[in-house]
């Protein structure tokens, strides 16, 4: 589940709100997306059932979920793909829509990761044929 926390900068005292992900089973914050996944329930025709989306810690929380529900009806994906897929699926098509990826990199990418972003972009532009599969290529 998505939640909003109130934080306070220790140096400036400035308060700000920040969205966080919490496990839908244990309710604890997910602090490393590499250690989480998301799931949704499919009906008998393999169509997603709205309102069943959940985020879980890998390991014990996922195991408990699998023991509680029919795991075959609950496809999953790595939580590390969640934000990218949301961005790609939420890009507007109107003239007023901005390109979200450049906006996000410009405003939210930590300085220490900008060089890595630049290297990936340069590599893709030089050799688009060998680009890794799209994050939208979720097997069905």
Binding mask 41-80 for Zn ion (x = CB under 5 A): ----------------x---x-------------------
Interface with Zn ion (CB under 5 A), residue from 1, 5, 20, 26: 26
H or E element at residue 36: strand 36-39
Residue 23 binds Zn ion, judged by CB under 5 A: yes
Angle 31-36-38 (CA atoms, 0-180°, nearest 5)? Answer: 125
In the complex, what is the shortest distance from the CB of residue 75 to Zn ion, in angstroms, rounded to a whole number? Answer: 19
Q: Exposed (0-12), middle (13-18) or buried (19+): which is 30, by Cβ within 10 Å?
A: buried
Residues in 98-117 at the binding interface with Zn ion, rule: CB under 5 A: none
d(CA 132, CA 44): 32
Using CB under 5 A, list all residues that contact Zn ion: 23, 25-26, 57, 61
């Amino acid at each position: 589940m998505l939640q909003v926390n109130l934080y306070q900068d220790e140096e400036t005292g400035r308060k700000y709100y920040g969205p966080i992900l919490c496990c839908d089973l244990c309710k604890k914050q997910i602090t490393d997306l590499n250690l989480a996944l998301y799931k949704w329930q499919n009906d008998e025709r393999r169509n997603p059932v709205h309102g069943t989306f959940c985020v879980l810690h890998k390991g014990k929380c996922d195991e408990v979920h699998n023991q509680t529900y029919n795991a075959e009806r609950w496809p999953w994906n790595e939580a590390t793909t969640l934000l990218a897929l949301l961005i790609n699926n939420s890009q507007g098509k109107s003239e007023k829509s901005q390109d979200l990826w450049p906006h996000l990199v410009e405003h939210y990418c930590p300085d220490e990761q900008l060089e890595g972003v630049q290297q990936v972009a340069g590599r893709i532009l030089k050799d688009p044929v060998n680009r890794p599969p799209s994050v939208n290529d979720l097997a069905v």
